[in-house]
Structure 1
């Protein structure tokens, strides 16, 4: 690989434009807060993991017009609910820690193809892989599947409603119309598509199997990290994302340690989760590394909210597995390229 492909320091600290991120952040905050508060009020915070993944529906179609966003978020809602149900079903098995690795790999590959076919924004399989892996890590029963389906569906439906409510404003009628169409044929015909999916599936299998074999807790964070690292459009972007993932996580676990030390009540943790979600959406389009500073404690607080756990162990596992998963992504990016790739390409 030529040095022209390697990222420079300026890539890690570059900032994109604000581009109306406050509107997206507000939608994401409302979509996250309402279902979590409903579960807290009814005394069922153990179901909060399913609600948060359903709320991720709000993160799609951030810059699209209302109708196009509604169509895109409808596809995203189906993806997220399916991922929650699939992960919960895996959680029934006593062998879930091993079953989940190939299941996440397959789900990530299919989600990537679907994402490219419908031009989802944000693209890729990150949220799907996270939902399947995290839900599978929680022991469940057949009855839990129905609960997971209901909670995730209700949360996703709320996100759809929040995303569409702005259409009633007069100003919305004068916005440029964006399109949203499905084209699997175009997606499958893209140069290097098969190689991209194969690289991703391989990365997930390696990132999931090694920590599981080593007995490290929460190996799904390694799988999520490699999906994030390999989701860039070209080699340079993938290496930058891997660097952002590592550096942002290192800073983010410091913030998580402070939050865990506060020993917040459930309602306080919900407020923190919502605030972190809003902060992440404010910066995700500007600098992914800074976004990870907020996403890291967000992910840890999500786990803590649903199931009480040792904060110190969670933080240690998050750091080790994120670094490992990102490292797997870096290695695969450097050694696995289509033969037709240009020097600065994939």
Structure 2
């Protein structure tokens, strides 16, 4: 009972966070402006490409710094690449199964890069999401050029908004810390392997079960693994499940309104901003907004019946979360062995 109480506190705890309003505004604008352009040019079906490029805005931390734009640019390159991989997989009639190893490979690369570069936020979730979502829809060769152009443009916009934020801070004499260059962190091979394994297992089980939208299971499987220790991984997985359960209720209401395209675009930007306000404080609370955002963007690309859609989202998320926490438990890092009493390493008796 005591352990359950500690777990419940971990799930419900709201952490303090500063600077999130600027990040939220930047993320919302990175989504809103490209979607408005696509709406005006009657290409809203390319909205997924725009959103994945726009996710570059959330990288690099909340405080302006001279090197943050580089982090966002590197993340943008990774996200554009993941979008292209997913779109290329969508060319194949066998995309339902091809996307599983493709997402696992991209997830492994994203994990290695994120760990080595010490990215904030850490982990491969956005990259796996981009591969899976873009591969879920059948594509044509011309879509590769559209994916490249739209995702690159929105990633560039996200980086530009980050630079403007730094300039704003300087003109207002706000402190802009000059971070010393940090040494690259070693790549944790065990962590890279566990991410790839979680994606492969979750994707294979979901695809074989035929539930629908297996990439949601793959994304949910990697969500807990961004946390550093098993206790935090279990808490994050639980938050993913609880937040999605609440979020699908919100999504059902939102999608049942059948909003006109302009209203849907404006709502997507609001949901993105709200998610960024909350994600550092409590992941479950952020998912109340992330879930309807993800489903809304999918509906803009290819509308589906609302009831089965939200049910698939919930079932796939619970499946993927269970796989992710299971992989985390099975591959957890072993604690360092405790030396027996006796002489210490320097030869002096302990």
In the superposition, the TM-score normalised over structure 2's length comes to 0.92
**Given the alignment of the two structures, is residue 264 of structure 1 paired with residue 259 of structure 2, yes or no?**
yes
Which residue does 2:205 correspond to in 1? 210
Other structure's SS at 1:62 match: coil
Summarize deviations over 1:237-276 as a string: whole Å, max 9, x none.
Answer: 1101100000000000000011012111111111111111
Which residue does 2:194 correspond to in 1? 199
Which residue does 2:348 correspond to in 1? none
- Structure 2 CA distance, aligned partners of 1:341 and 1:152? 44
Summarize deviations over 1:205-257 as a string: whole Å, max 9, x none.
Answer: 11000111111110000000001022211101110110000000000000001
- Structure 1 CA distance, aligned partners of 2:263 and 2:131? 27
Distance 1:279 1:42, change over 3 A: same
Which residue does 2:286 correspond to in 1? 291
In the superposition, the TM-score normalised over structure 1's length comes to 0.93
Which residue does 1:305 correspond to in 2? 300
Other structure's SS at 1:65 match: coil
Other structure's SS at 2:300 match: helix
Summarize deviations over 1:68-114 as a string: whole Å, max 9, x none.
Answer: 11010010110110010111011101101101001111111110000
Instruction: Answer with 1 or 2: which has the greater Rg.
Output: 2
- Structure 2 CA distance, aligned partners of 1:325 and 1:180? 37
Contact preservation (8 Å) 2:202, 2:323 = yes
Contact preservation (8 Å) 2:244, 2:291 = yes
Distance 1:100 1:203, change over 3 A: same
- Structure 2 CA distance, aligned partners of 1:342 and 1:299? 44
Other structure's SS at 1:67 match: coil
Which residue does 1:17 correspond to in 2? 16
Which residue does 1:118 correspond to in 2? 117
- Structure 1 CA distance, aligned partners of 2:114 and 2:181? 12
- Structure 2 CA distance, aligned partners of 1:306 and 1:137? 11
Which residue does 1:326 correspond to in 2? 321
Which residue does 1:132 correspond to in 2? 131
Contact preservation (8 Å) 1:71, 1:180 = no
Of stretches 317-326 and 327-336 in structure 1, the one that deviates more from structure 2 is: 327-336
Summarize deviations over 1:136-182 as a string: whole Å, max 9, x none.
Answer: 11111211101110000011111111111123332356322224557
**Given the alignment of the two structures, is residue 141 of structure 1 paired with residue 136 of structure 2, yes or no?**
no
Q: Which runs of 5+ in 1 are unaligned?
A: none
- Structure 2 CA distance, aligned partners of 1:5 and 1:340? 22
Contact preservation (8 Å) 1:199, 1:332 = yes
- How many residues are matched? 335
Which residue does 2:272 correspond to in 1? 277
- Structure 2 CA distance, aligned partners of 1:196 and 1:100? 21
Displacement of 1:61 after TM fit?
1.1
Contact preservation (8 Å) 1:230, 1:333 = yes
CA RMSD of aligned residues (A): 1.8
Q: Which runs of 5+ in 2 are unaligned?
A: 339-350
- Structure 1 CA distance, aligned partners of 2:198 and 2:32? 33
Contact preservation (8 Å) 1:104, 1:129 = yes
- Structure 2 CA distance, aligned partners of 1:136 and 1:342? 45
- Structure 2 CA distance, aligned partners of 1:6 and 1:112? 31
Which residue does 1:71 correspond to in 2? 70
Aligned ranges 1:250-261 → 2 under 5 Å = 250-261=245-256
Displacement of 1:5 after TM fit?
11
